[in-house]
A = this chain, B = another copy of it.
Amino acid sequence: MAKKTPIAPGPRDERGVLSARIVRAARDEFAQNGWAGTTLRAVARAADVDPALVYHYYGSKEGLLDAATAPPQRWLENVAKTWATPVSELGRALVETLLASWADDEIGPTLRAVLQTAAHEQSTREKLRLIVERSLMGVSQLGDDERDRLVRSGLISSQLLGFALMRYVWQIEPVASMSDVEVIAAIAPNLQRYIEGDIGS
């Protein structure tokens, strides 16, 4: 058996390094195996630390899930910046941000972990709802009034979420292997209609 890191790691920055390693491992485990298929023991093994250290830092599987599915601050800022794109180019910009987010080796696994564990219980579903409401819908500047704004950004989110699930989580072909260029050409115009088209309301 590999040598395990002791529970009290000592220096403060080592603690930061270890807890980041645990969160990274947890993200991958939850993303791969969902809530039910993930154990603290497997996370500890993947992070190469003692299971007691995982308990020590995160208290429980719920605490660990919470840390593993917290959207990184730079992603939230990125999404907010995308929404500030001029309206005529927004559809394309949103698809590009989606592709870049999932390609990022911290953000991609976080989004996957959120979607894979969203069914687990009310609190995780609530977190997904908050991400969608605050990050995907909340910062848009579309539409004629508040309801129109929320309907339009809700429709945009529905397309982006459904596509992300098929391409990255469920990996259904040929959607999973379409090139980025194909994805942008296919989806951006549909988002553009939700952004500024007549949606009948």
Contact = CB atoms under 8 A, between A and B. Distances in A.
Q: Which 5 A-B pairs have the closest CB atoms?
A: A162-B162, A185-B200, A34-B119, A154-B175, A158-B162
A116 B147 CA distance: 28
Please report whether the interface of chain A is mostly helix, strand, loop or mixed according to DSSP.
helix
Given A36-B36, A117-B119, A189-B193, A157 B161 contact: no
A36 B33 contact: no
User: What is the count of identical protomers in the complex?
Assistant: 2
Nearest to A171: B129
A119 B31 CA distance: 9
Contact of A158 (B36, B163, B189, B201): B163
A54 interface: no
B166 A154 contact: yes
Nearest to A137: B172
Interface in A175-191: 175, 178, 181-182, 185-187, 189-190
A120 interface: yes
A139 interface: no
A128 B170 contact: yes
A18 interface: no
A175 B151 contact: yes
A35 interface: yes
A200 B172 contact: no
14 contacts: A36-B121, A132-B170, A150-B173, A151-B175, A151-B182, A155-B186, A158-B159, A159-B159, A159-B190, A161-B165, A185-B199, A186-B194, A189-B193, A193-B193
Nearest to A187: B155
